[in-house]
């Protein structure tokens, strides 16, 4: 049976990470099996880099495929814009 992947996480708490993650913002989860084993997730945070955060800071959310595609497209355009100004 194929394992269900968590694709998106909603930040609920940014204690100790006030600059890195924003409560209420949805982040795309980057697959990382090792991190998942230790109750962490890898996301592309506000620095534009991918980092590990404990699951307790997030709630996992599901979206219809059409919404997922739009979120990924938005993330890609924001990331590219960030790289151009870095």
Say if residue 61's pLDDT is above 90.
Answer: yes
In a domain, 33, yes or no: yes
Number of compact structural domains in the chain:
1
In a domain, 3, yes or no: no
- What is the model's pTM? 0.79
In a domain, 53, yes or no: yes
Cβ–Cβ contacts within 10 Å for residue 86, how many? Answer: 6
Give residue-wise pLDDT tens across range 34-54.
Answer: 999 999 999 989 988 899 999
Say if residue 3's pLDDT is above 60.
Answer: no
In a domain, 56, yes or no: yes
């Amino acid at each position: 049976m194929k394992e269900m992947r968590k694709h998106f996480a909603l930040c609920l708490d940014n204690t100790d990470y006030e600059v890195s993650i924003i409560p209420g913002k949805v982040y795309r989860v980057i697959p990382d099996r090792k991190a998942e084993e230790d109750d962490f997730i890898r996301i592309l945070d506000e620095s534009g880099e991918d980092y590990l955060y404990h699951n307790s800071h997030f709630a996992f959310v599901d979206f219809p495929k059409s919404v997922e595609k739009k979120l990924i497209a938005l993330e890609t355009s924001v990331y590219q814009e960030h790289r151009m100004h870095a």
